[in-house]
Structure 1
Amino acid sequence: MQEIRETFFDLLKSSPKPILADGAMGTVLHSHGVGFNQCFDELNLTNPALVGETHRAYIEAGSQIIYANTFSANRYKLADHGLEDKVAEINKAGVELARRVVAASFRSVLVAGDVGPLGVRLAPYGRVQIEDAKAAFTEQIAALCEAGVDLLVIETFGDLYEIREAVIAAREFCDMPIVASATFTQDDRTVLGDTPAKVAQALHKAGADIIGANCSGGPAQLFRILGQMKQAVPDTRFVVKPNAGWPEQIGGRVMYSAGPDYFGEYTQSFVNLGVSILGGCCGTTPEHIAQMRIALDREVSPVSQENLQIQIPSLDIDQIVPEQPTQLAQKFAAGEFVISVEMDPPRGLAPHKIIAGASTLKEAGADVINVADSPRASMRMSPWAVCELIQRDVGIETTLHFPTRGRNLLRVQGDLLASHALGIRNVFVVMGDPTSIGDYPEAMDDYDLVPSGLMKLIAQRFNQGVDHAGSDIGQPTSFFVGCALNLMPKNQEREIKVLRRKIANGANFALTQPVYKPEKALKFLKHYEDQFGKLEIPLLVGILPLYGTRHAAFLHNEVPGIVIPGEIRQRIERAGDNAPKEGVRIASELAEEIKEWGQGIYIMPAFGRYDLAVEIVDAVKK
């Protein structure tokens, strides 16, 4: 093994450019009809021709290292398919198959033994003890080494504890070259919250020869992460294998957005960063690798260490790179007309209807779903759960309504952390309805913060990485904060004063009360502009489709801030049984007017009639 080790590092030293590895195995196998519920590793035994053809395609594309099809061939993951007794057989078959393909290619290509996570949680966060995990890794590594791999690749780990044990197991068992690679979430941390710098330091200390990142997002994210790793451990070698972007569910299929040309263009950036091994992960194909090969084969000027220091982001190793803005923020910045729809959480346990409604709204073209919190002080499912379900199952961004009423300072901060942990970034801060009007009039109605104070807490404390008391919360949050606005208030000066305070405290956008008289709303905005200049934040203007005569009368007479002109109420009355359809027509007309001056609309369908909201979305999208 010492000879193998020396040969590998001689190759690294003699190569002026990164060694090109392969791309995704699972993506290609799946494209040939292998279901995600099948055991990909078992194909080494049951369909070696398909696996071999995938290896051959990557070699012909220019790969100098191919990963044996053994990523999940450990006793825990194989047990899910009743194959736990075939660990050695499957791993050896994977290596031998890769060896045969390399021999047939008549090219100098290395074969890596691929070791992935066990698929179980290790103590102290799970039931599997460290010694049991170590034994499982050793069992797989022993089979790979016996089969004759050139190096070991330990990749796609999100748990620093687990990948460290895998590296230690490999180092204790053999002197084989070890490549260790972690995966990161969208906030540039592992699933357990570790920074790239901490991961790099831990893997280097554990004995990995080459460290880095794979999977995660696309090339841009991994370039950023590798920069932090290099700052933390500058005197080691690095590997990078990015996904072809973040996966999306489209028509029941998993799709990736980054194409081969994009990977080819990014190759030079990784060369300049000084990586030793370069390849692709989920979503990448032989076409991606071929474009990277073309880019590597171009004449590239040597990059001096001095130049590398300039090109690597100047970051303290514990500094966190901010997340990308939310999709809502990006749409506002791009000047797009945004369509948001409000949905109420279910009263019981079943979220199926709201998920179905959100799916339909997304298909129609809605940009974001607003999830209310206990509207009219009625008992409903927590909106954080609903937001998370919609974002996960439907794939559309949400905005969480976050009332201050009924929350003390401890609960406010805890709930914010919970929201962020669930991936919720858009937060609409409001006072909330008094409990006296709802299901539990005797319930506590106190609060420690008014909405403008909560906006200040979020924007000037949490988004800076500290809590209300100034204590570190681990990393800055990345909330995009919305505030409420009445465009037709009885007291304009007071409404403007409150709005100015909200903006100063950190409000990023505003949701308005329903507007039925656009010309009056424009007068309010003109009055604001005359005093302070054009409104600094984008507006999502409220659209509440009327459902019938009684509904219109209730809103006009009993809901503060809503004024419905007589002619609109008359239209609803004349429509009779067709009032809901007339309400949609009126709402669509209003939306067209708002397009001239608003940054979007905020549809509030009454009585859960999301089908009517869809009609409005359709009309706006025409």
Structure 2
Amino acid sequence: MKHSQMKADLPQLEGKVFLTDGGLETTMIFHEGIDLPLFAACEMLKTEAEREILKNYFRSYTEIAAQLKTGIVLETATWRASRDWMEKLGHNDQSIRRINLDAVALLKEIREEYETIETPVVISGNLGPRGDGYDPGEIMTEVVAEAYHSEQVGFFKEAGVDLVSAITLTNVPEAVGFVRAAQKAELPVVVAFTVETDGRLPTGQSLGDAILEVDRATGNGPAYYMINCAHPTHFEQIFGGENAWAGRIKGLRANASCMSHEELDNAEELDDGDPVALAGQYRELMDVLPGLSVLGGCCGTDHRHVAAIGGACVHSHHHEDQLEGKSDVRVA
């Protein structure tokens, strides 16, 4: 399967708006009162009660997508389910594999419940950085990053995901290694970089340079790029003029809060911002990022934010025809 063909198989690239979820971990900690050691939501898959809370979380977003007649990209609860993090949580080879497979199985149950022709459901195997999501720390080489992330990519391939996404990446070598692991597994791949309050990666590199560098190193490997775990006020100023790289950005998962990563790390209470104001900022970003089609949230956001974002953006000028001529036939 050629990579160009792999990209064409993703329905979120066809111009229809797709929603995705909000801040899974902050929702569980601050709204559900669940303790997540090391921010690892995958630990919730171990008990039936917490698994049901997870399902209801994903149901809430899928119901919003169904109401708005958008698609939805469901991300597995596996941002912390790679080997280094799982070993810190006491897992062995068998349980690391099982949790990654279980996370995909849970989303397949949601897809069975909700998918229709109007609301296609795409399942993404979600990876996080090997290190901290805010601090690049000791940066791996591309070769080491590929070897590290290939294990979790392999689990997702085995489980039958539609694509794999690396969320909150801080540096280019890790992104390149991850993309190459996905290419070897013949899976469509998405890279989501995080940026600081100046719109640059935590390494200091500009987002545009990072995208161009990953594309050069992987033969335009990613199906698209996303920005996540930053507020629109941190990066809206970097777009303008004729930037070909900006057209590679198709997804946005912003934080609810304007706070910096350091401030968020030290916050004792959740700053959930203003859902309506955030939705307006997404709508404005669609004018400078015409390819933007996958819309969700990150830290501090929940179903209220995504519902507001969907309501504001689904009728935007370049998506206004998507609601016409659709049927209510449920997919078997």
TM range (shorter): 0.7 to 0.9
Alignment of structure 1 residues 190-201 onto 2, 5 Å:
190-201=201-212
CA drift of 1:52 comes to: 0.9
SS in 2 for 1:223: helix
Mapping 1:157-176, distance limit 5 Å: 157-174=169-186, 176=187
- Per-residue CA deviations over 1:170-194 (Å, capped at 9, x if unaligned) read 12221x2211111111222222111
Distance 2:286 2:35 in 1: 35
Instruction: Summarize deviations over 1:549-591 as a string: whole Å, max 9, x none.
Output: xxxxxxxxxxxxxxxxxxxxxxxxxxxxxxxxxxxxxxxxxxx
2:282 pairs with 264, 267, 277, which one? 267
Q: Give the 3 Å change call, closer, same or farther, for CA 164–251 of structure 1 in structure 2.
A: closer
Matching of residues 112-511 of structure 1 within 5 Å: 112-119=124-131, 126=138, 130-174=142-186, 176-205=187-216, 206=218, 207-216=221-230, 218-225=231-238, 227=239, 231-233=243-245, 236-247=248-259, 253-272=268-287, 273-274=289-290, 275-298=292-315, 300=317
Residues 1:20 and 2:19 are matched in the alignment: yes
Q: Which residue matches 1:66?
A: 74
Matches of 1:229 and 1:42 in 2, distance apart?
45
The amino acid across from 1:163 in the alignment is: A
* Structure 1 counterpart of 2:46: 45
Distance 2:215 2:54 in 1: 32
Q: Is the 8 A contact 2:233 2:258 kept in 1?
A: no
Comparing 3-12 and 102-111, the one that deviates more: 3-12
How far is 1:270 from its partner? 2.7
Aligned to 1:111: 123
Distance 1:186 1:145, change over 3 A: same
Separation in structure 2 between the aligned mates of residue 61 and residue 242 of structure 1, nearest angstrom: 18
Q: Greater Rg, structure 1 or structure 2?
A: 1
Contact 1:67 1:113 survives alignment (8 Å): yes
C-alpha contact (below 8 Å) 1:222/1:240 kept by paired residues: no
Q: When the two structures are superposed, what TM-score results if normalisation uses the length of structure 2?
A: 0.79
Partner-residue secondary structure (3-state), 1:233: helix
Alignment length, in residue pairs? Answer: 296
| Alignment check: 8 A CA contact 1:188 1:196 kept | yes
**Residues 479-515 of structure 1: CA deviation (Å, up to 9, x unaligned):** xxxxxxxxxxxxxxxxxxxxxxxxxxxxxxxxxxxxx
Contact (CA 8 Å) 2:254, 2:296: kept in 1 or not?
yes
Partner of 1:29: 28
Contact 1:117–1:163 (8 Å) recurs in 2: no
- Quick one: which amino acid aligns to residue 270 of structure 1? L
Distance 2:265 2:193 in 1: 27
Give the Cα–Cα distance (whole angstroms) in 1 for the partners of residues 110 and 241 of structure 2: 34
Read off the aligned partner of 2:128 and give its amino acid letter. G
Q: Residue 266 and residue 186 in structure 1: after superposition, are their counterparts in 2 closer, same or farther (change >3 A)?
A: closer
* Native 8 Å contact 1:200 1:229 kept in 2: no
CA distance in 2, matches of 1:9, 1:194: 29
CA-atom RMSD in angstroms: 3.0
TM-score under structure 1 normalisation? Answer: 0.44
Whole-Å separation in 2 of the counterparts to 1:242 and 1:270: 12
Using the alignment, how far apart are the partners of 2:308 and 2:58 within structure 1?
A: 17
CA shift for structure 1 position 97: 0.4
In structure 1, distance between residues paired with 2:272 and 2:23: 15
What is the DSSP-based 3-state SS (H/G/I as helix, E as strand, rest coil) of the residue aligned with 1:266? Answer: helix
Tell me how far apart the structure 2 counterparts of residues 259 and 79 of structure 1 sit (CA, whole Å): 37
> Aligned match of 1:101 in 94, 110, 114?
110
Letter in 2 for 1:98: L
What is the aligned partner in structure 2 of residue 88 from structure 1?
97
How far 1:230 moved relative to its partner? 7.2
Q: Distance in 2 between matches of 1:252 and 1:125?
A: 21
Cα pair distance change 1:36/1:6, threshold 3 Å:
closer
Contact 2:36 2:43 in 1 (8 A): no
Q: Distance in 2 between matches of 1:251 and 1:204?
A: 35
Give unpaired runs (5+ residues) of structure 1.
304-622
> Partner of 2:158: helix, strand, or coil?
helix
Deviation per residue, 1:327-385 (Å, 9 max, x gap): xxxxxxxxxxxxxxxxxxxxxxxxxxxxxxxxxxxxxxxxxxxxxxxxxxxxxxxxxxx
Moved more, 108-117 or 41-50: 41-50
Structure 1: how far apart are the matches of 2:168 and 2:160? 22
Counterpart for residue 59 of structure 2: 56
Q: Which amino acid aligns with 1:156?
A: T
CA contact (8 A) 1:214 1:222 kept: no
Residue ranges of structure 2 left out of the alignment (5+ in a row): 66-70, 321-332
Structure 1 residues 7 and 196, CA gap change in structure 2 (3 angstroms): closer
Query: Is the 1:137–1:169 contact (alpha carbons within 8 Å) kept by the matching residues of 2?
Result: yes
CA distance in structure 1 between the aligned counterparts of 2:265 and 2:20, rounded to whole angstroms: 29
Q: In 1, are the aligned partners of 2:196 and 2:234 still within 8 Å (CA)?
A: no
Alpha-carbon distance, 1:232 to partner:
4.8
**Contact 1:189–1:195 under 8 Å retained in 2:** yes
Residues 140-166 of structure 1: CA deviation (Å, up to 9, x unaligned): 001012111111111101122212211
Query: Partner amino acid for 1:209?
Result: A
Identity %: 24
**Highest RCO, 1 vs 2 (Cα 8 Å, sep ≥ 6):** 2
AA of the residue aligned to 2:201: T
